[in-house]
Amino acid sequence: MNTNEQVLQEVVIKFAGDSGDGMQLTGQQFTNNTALLGIDLATFPDFPAEIRAPIGTMAGVSGFQLHFSSNKVYTPGDSCDVLVAMNAAALKANLKGLKKGGKIIVNTDGFDSKNLRLANYPDGVNPIENGSLEGYEVTKIDVTKLTREALKDIAELGTKERDRAKNMFVLGYIYWMYNRDLKSTKDFLQEKFGKKEVILQSNIKVLQAGYNYGDTTETFTTRYTVEKAKLPAGKYRSIMGNQAVTMGLIAASEKSGLPIFLGSYPITPASDILHDLSKHKAFGVKTFQAEDEIAAITSAIGASYGGSLGVTTTSGPGMTLKAEAMGLAVMLEIPLLIINIQRGGPSTGLPTKTEQSDLMQAYYGRNGECPMPIVSASTPSDCFEAVYEACRISVQHMTPVIFLSDGYIANGAEPWKFPQSADLKPIDVKFKKGLDEGEEKYLPYKRDEKLARPWAVPGTPGLEHRIGGLEKQDITGNISYDTDNHQHMVKTRQAKVDKIADYIPLQTIDSGAATGKVLVIGWGSTYGSIKSAVLDLQAEGKSVSHVHLRHIRPFPRNLGDIIKNFDKVIIPEINNGQLVKIIRDHYFVDAIPYNKIMGIPITKTELVDFIGKMC
Amino acid sequence: MSTSTIAPQTLTAKDFVTDQEVRWCPGCGDYSILAQVQKVMPTLNIPKENIVIISGIGCSSRFPYYMNTYGMHSIHGRATAVASGLKASRPELSVWIVSGDGDSLSIGGNHTIHLLRRNFDVNMLVFNNQIYGLTKGQYSPTSEEKKVTKSTPYGSIDHPFNPLALAMGADATFIARSMDRDVKHLQQILIRANQHKGSSFVEIYQNCNIFNDGAFEVFTEKSSKADEALFLEQGKPLVFGATQNKGIKLDGFKPIVVEIGDKYSIDDLWIHDEADFYKAQILVRMFDNPQNADHLPRPFGVFYQTERACYEDVMAMQIEEVITTKGKGDLDKLLRGREVWEIA
Ligand code: SF4
């Protein structure tokens, strides 16, 4: 057989099939295999809201996109080079995201009359037979038949069980196509099915059959290799956003000496943090699946009052339910972390789609004057550092803190040059241990230079005190309805949050000059798209710079000065314009919004177009 | 630093009084409850610094401000949830929840039932005055039907909750009822509630003399108390009446009132057993309106008590077990994960 070998710079591949076809697993396996070779990558899983959407329909299509490259990767890719479609609906849903001339690998069994009807193709129309895919490089494989064939000797398995291994055939084939070793997946299967010998052997058999199929048929005459990326030296692992949040919390707990208490109610796309943390009991983590969102946050408040690192995880609608309790935490002035993995809203909205539309809610969404610090994460691995920072602010400044991530980075993966625990900056926390010399009575709202009050936990003799949601006198903490005191307290709570700006790093410019025509300001998951768009424009000689915010409340002290040095400010967001309003309000700058509210990330191409016209 | 711990043995009621002016209406039943709690606390042999009182919102929820212990006046309906988090994270603390009928059964009804089923070792005192006092007189989830209040000028059309039956339905492990006016009884019940390991649900009839004066008069006034209130005692027959002349007998599953005399003797009566799950269900349902003819008397005392593992203990045990089998968590191992590659 005559096979060519070709080296590619980068590839964007999408695995798409019915939610029951195991495309997420296939994508993750290929991702791991890629990462282990030192190739840079970013992923974007995209799954239906319904757990069991009707089989074969457009609503049931589940996809996993992977961008891998021997250069630095910032996004999962705007459009695909390769589309794997397990059925007609998967092809229909994803064809528009495939580059012209791209490769399509289809499972022909997924294009029978039933599947075509479910995908709403007109009677008698089969896209893989009628020439409509001309201009693409189509490879047709009857995956179902070949899988059954590979397993015909394993008598213990029924047809249904055999068919379940289909995705391994595809994975094996793709491994062949990209010149890969099967070991990482074999190890994975061994770990997963080690005790179920028949299932294990059948999966390995099909995986191998897929690989051999590539080897022995002449479907493809070219195999591709992507070389490892030139990343900074060090040890790497693959990480997903929600995983990084879990690790950041545990690291903050270890480095502060405060045990974690997580109060949480399951909600997409935040539940994985609850699942993940509940596995880590060996770190003394306590997870409490509460009866609702309100009990989730209030139980965490109770734990914080008792001296734990109180955490609650949620998404948009859940955060709305927590609003009153956040106000309580602001009044109590105790540490608490509210983690919001944003999704499309309003109301139930688009639970499995991404959006950055809770910024205003985080900023303003409570009764009364109720300021809370906001920290956001920009990539899956950045969740680790950002959540660690949020914990630090919370316990050192005695304030609840909101941490914002979103569905895109929560489920996306990238290589991570993980830190050593010894390199993490310790988080100093001091409980008040007793009355100071000369102090007659504990004064719960006596403040330090950060305007933070002391943290005195129950069980400490001599510091018995009462706190609550009613307005209180500064210093003593006694209930007070005094008019002047209320004004003083409102101003003090604001000043306390503002003062955090003295304890966070100054804003850096991510890329570009310190002065110029256009400054692009981003926050959260738009990082990769803005970064790559701005780099492209800079390469064209355009005067454009990029600033990406981690701290949204308070802003870094120098942000205003940076803004002043540019003619124009552009703020791309996956919402209808939220940070842009806050920036305008803060700095009186006529910032220009770029908004996409489709439940999917902004692409590099869209930004290059938009920003390019402005500079 | 000076730490001034007072040995629990030397504490008196005074040690539990704060310098805050008590702001309830003069004559409010809350005063008596506060006094009884302050009297009982020193007898419990708990270091003062280990006592935490968590309340929600309502007249009763001002309670923590008047108790010189740790305390939190939280938000409406959520005291139970705050207390759950505190107890889960600090099992050694003595956690008391103070709540009202609106706070615990209306806005906070959900958290109440979940607290009880989880069986945190806390004491929950529900001051039931069958009215919303703090918001100046609307009907509450325990107000009787047809009640005329500010929000029900034509009479309430809501069917009221039976708090103890609700607690029973939520599998509470300790269920009791007492009243503000009977100070000895209330003290006894508070002591029993504290002795019980698990969630203790204590309903306390509390007179709101401003918006619902006399709601429990028939049970508390001398003239009617003996005939209307039935005091439960472990192992004793259910007798009541001015001369202990009446009793409760079970007719199949139905409790009936009988005169003790020629036809029935003490030996025919229902003997109270706090551990009897099935009888407790009948007992909590003795909830007749005292206005009705042939009504049953209202029981007071400990209706039911049983042992069940407490959430916070099992939670701590699970952690211990994991640490014993897997060893203490290693942060570097966690950060490293399973698969690592190196770039030179
Ligand atoms: S309104 Fe009623 S319950 Fe409230 S303090 Fe006054 S008397 Fe007591």
Write out the two tokens for A275.
Answer: 């699942």
Write out the two tokens for B18.
Answer: 């704060």
Determine contact, residues B95/B54, Cβ cutoff 8 Å: yes
Which positions 209-248 of B are in contact with A (Cβ < 8 Å)?
none
User: What is the Cα–Cα distance from B99 to B163, expressed in whole angstroms?
Assistant: 13
Same domain, A221 and A342: no
Nearest to A57 by CA among A16, A84, A87, A83: A87
Q: Which of A401, A417, A433 is the last residue of a domain?
A: A417
User: What is the Cα–Cα distance from A410 to A496, expressed in whole angstroms?
Assistant: 30
Atom 5, ligand 1: which residue's CA is nearest?
A: B24
DSSP string, A65-95: EEEEESS---SS-SSEEEEEESSHHHHHHHG
For A254-263, how does the pLDDT look when each residue is reduced to its tens digit (9 = 90+)? 999 999 999 9
The β-bridge relationship of strands A61-69 and A40-46 is antiparallel
Same domain, A412 and A520: no
Query: Which of B93, B319, B335 is facing A247, going by the closest CB pair?
Result: B335
Same domain, A31 and A178: yes
Does A443 reside within a domain? Answer: no
Nearest to B193 by CA among B206, B204, B182: B204
Nearest to A88 by CA among A47, A49, A63, A117: A117
> Is residue A468's pLDDT more than 90?
yes
| A301 to chain B, closest Cα gap in Å | 6
What integer best gives the mean pLDDT of chain A?
95
User: What is the Cα–Cα distance from A405 to B33, expressed in whole angstroms?
Assistant: 48
Query: Quick one: closest CA in B to A311, which residue?
Result: B85
Query: Quick one: closest CA in B to A436, which residue?
Result: B1
Query: Which of A282, A466, A469 is facing B327, going by the closest CB pair?
Result: A282
Backbone phi, psi, residue A106, to 5°: -115, 145
Predicted local confidence at residue A19, as pLDDT = 87
For B132-146, how does the pLDDT look when each residue is reduced to its tens digit (9 = 90+)? 999 999 999 999 999
Same domain, A243 and A377: yes
The mean pLDDT of A453-469, rounded to a whole number, is 97
The β-bridge relationship of strands A466-468 and A551-553 is unpaired
Strand partners, A241: none
Which positions 18-47 of B are in contact with A (Cβ < 8 Å)?
18, 20, 47
The β-bridge relationship of strands A98-107 and A137-141 is parallel
For A473-518, how does the pLDDT look when each residue is reduced to its tens digit (9 = 90+)? 999 999 999 999 999 999 999 999 999 999 999 999 999 999 999 9
Determine contact, residues A316/A352, Cβ cutoff 8 Å: no
Distance from the CA of B176 to the center of ligand 1, in angstroms?
23
Residue A313: give the domain boundaries.
Answer: 237-417
Predicted local confidence at residue B329, as pLDDT = 97
Q: Which of A504, A530, A555 is the last residue of a domain?
A: A504
Does A563 reside within a domain? Answer: yes
For residue B30, give the ligand 1 atom closest to its CA. Answer: 8
Determine contact, residues A144/A166, Cβ cutoff 8 Å: yes
**Residue B210, ligand 1, Cβ within 6 A:** yes
Residue from B24, B32, B33, B55 to probe ligand 1 pocket by mutation (most atoms less than 8 Å from CB): B24
Task: Supply the CATH number for residue A338's domain.
Answer: 3.40.50.970
CB pairs under 8 A between A and B: 228
**Residue B129, ligand 1, Cβ within 6 A:** yes
Does A430 reside within a domain? Answer: no
Write out the two tokens for B193.
Answer: 């509630």
Q: Which residue type, as a one-letter code, is found at position B343?
A: I
Please report, for chain B, the start and end positions of each structural domain, with discontinuous segments joined by +. Answer: 8-215
Determine contact, residues A328/A367, Cβ cutoff 8 Å: no
**Residue B208, ligand 1, Cβ within 6 A:** yes
pLDDT tens for chain B, residues 1 to 344: 445 567 777 899 999 999 999 999 999 999 999 999 999 999 999 999 999 999 999 999 999 999 999 999 999 999 999 999 999 999 999 999 999 999 999 999 999 999 999 999 999 999 999 999 999 999 999 999 999 999 999 999 999 999 999 999 999 999 999 999 999 999 999 999 999 999 999 999 999 999 999 999 999 999 999 999 999 999 999 999 999 999 999 999 999 999 999 999 999 999 999 999 999 999 999 999 999 999 999 999 999 999 999 999 999 999 999 999 999 999 999 999 988 998 88
The mean pLDDT of A17-35, rounded to a whole number, is 94
User: What is the Cα–Cα distance from B70 to B82, expressed in whole angstroms?
Assistant: 14
Homologous superfamily of domain range B8-215 = Thiamin diphosphate (ThDP)-binding fold, Pyr/PP domains (3.40.50.970)
Query: Quick one: closest CA in B to A249, which residue?
Result: B331
SS3 for A386? helix
User: Which H/E stretch holds residue A576?
Assistant: none
Q: What are the Cα distances from residue A452, in Å, to A353, A393, A396, A493?
A: 38, 11, 8, 9
Same domain, A183 and A136: yes
Q: Which residue type, as a one-letter code, is found at position A66?
A: L
CB-side neighbour CA atoms (13 Å) of A62: 20
Please report the ipTM that was assigned to this predicted complex.
Answer: 0.97
Same domain, A260 and A326: yes
Atom 3, ligand 1: which residue's CA is nearest?
A: B208
Omega cis (within 30) before A554: yes
Q: Do A458 and B65 touch (CB under 8 A)?
A: no
Q: Do A298 and B75 touch (CB under 8 A)?
A: yes
For A437-450, how does the pLDDT look when each residue is reduced to its tens digit (9 = 90+)? 889 999 999 999 99
**Residue B281, ligand 1, Cβ within 6 A:** no
Query: Which of A281, A286, A291 is facing B111, going by the closest CB pair?
Result: A291
User: What is the Cα–Cα distance from B284 to B304, expressed in whole angstroms?
Assistant: 9
Same domain, A140 and A265: no
In total, how many domains does chain A have?
4
Does A379 reside within a domain? Answer: yes
| B123 to chain A, closest Cα gap in Å | 16
State whether the Cα torsion A24-A28-A29-A30 is positive or negative: positive
Does A431 reside within a domain? Answer: no
User: Which H/E stretch holds residue A592?
Assistant: strand A592-595
Identify the residue among B61, B82, B112, B114 best suited for mutation to test binding to A, counting A beta carbons within 10 A and taking the highest.
B82
Same domain, A486 and A572: no
Predicted local confidence at residue B1, as pLDDT = 44
Whether B118 and chain A come into contact, CB under 8 Å, resolves to: no
Same domain, A146 and A67: yes
Predicted local confidence at residue B302, as pLDDT = 98
Q: Do B71 and A466 touch (CB under 8 A)?
A: yes
B69: exposed, middle or buried (Cβ count in 10 Å: 0-12, 13-18, 19+): buried
Q: Hey, what long-range contacts does B253-259 have (CB within 8 A, 24 or more apart)? A: B253/B282, B255/B282, B255/B286, B255/B296, B257/B294, B257/B296, B257/B297
For B80-116, how does the pLDDT look when each residue is reduced to its tens digit (9 = 90+)? 999 999 999 999 999 999 999 999 999 999 999 999 9
The mean pLDDT of A364-376, rounded to a whole number, is 98
Which positions 245-304 of B are in contact with A (Cβ < 8 Å)?
none
Predicted local confidence at residue A2, as pLDDT = 57
Q: Which residues contact A19 (CB under 8 A, 6 or more apart)?
A: A47, A48, A50, A51, A52, A53, A60, A61, A62
Does A427 reside within a domain? Answer: no
Query: Which of A35, A299, A421 is facing B331, going by the closest CB pair?
Result: A421
The percent of residues above 90 in pLDDT, for chain A, comes to: 91
**Residue B132, ligand 1, Cβ within 6 A:** no
Query: Which of A37, A254, A328 is facing B74, going by the closest CB pair?
Result: A328
Same domain, A219 and A241: no
Distance from the CA of A255 to the center of ligand 1, in angstroms?
48
Same domain, A260 and A118: no
Helices A143-150, A166-177: crossing angle, 10 deg rounding: 100
Determine contact, residues A287/A250, Cβ cutoff 8 Å: no
Q: Model's pTM, two decimal places?
A: 0.94
State whether the Cα torsion B326-B329-B333-B338 is positive or negative: positive
Determine contact, residues A41/A69, Cβ cutoff 8 Å: yes
DSSP string, B256-314: EEEEBTTTB-GGGSPBP-TT-HHHHHHHHT----TTSTTPPPEEEEEEEE-----HHHH
Helices A604-612, A527-539: crossing angle, 10 deg rounding: 50
Chain B residues with CB-CB distance to A233 below 8 A: 343-344
* 3-state secondary structure labels for all residues of A109-136: HHHCHHHHHHCCCCCCCCCCCCCCCCCC
User: What is the Cα–Cα distance from A327 to A292, expressed in whole angstroms?
Assistant: 18
**Residue B59, ligand 1, Cβ within 6 A:** yes
Nearest to B167 by CA among B126, B228, B220: B126
Write out the two tokens for B244.
Answer: 């202990």
Task: Supply the CATH number for residue A124's domain.
Answer: 3.40.920.10
User: What is the Cα–Cα distance from B247 to B236, expressed in whole angstroms?
Assistant: 11
Distance from the CA of B94 to the center of ligand 1, in angstroms?
27
Determine contact, residues A66/A12, Cβ cutoff 8 Å: yes
Whether B4 and chain A come into contact, CB under 8 Å, resolves to: yes
Task: Supply the CATH number for residue A535's domain.
Answer: 3.40.50.920
Q: Which of A417, A438, A453 is the last residue of a domain?
A: A417
Chain B residues with CB-CB distance to A265 below 8 A: none
Same domain, A205 and A168: yes
Does A436 reside within a domain? Answer: no
Strand partners, A35: none
Q: Which residues of A426-438 are buried (b: 16+ CB within 10 A; e: fewer)?
A: ebebeebbbbeee
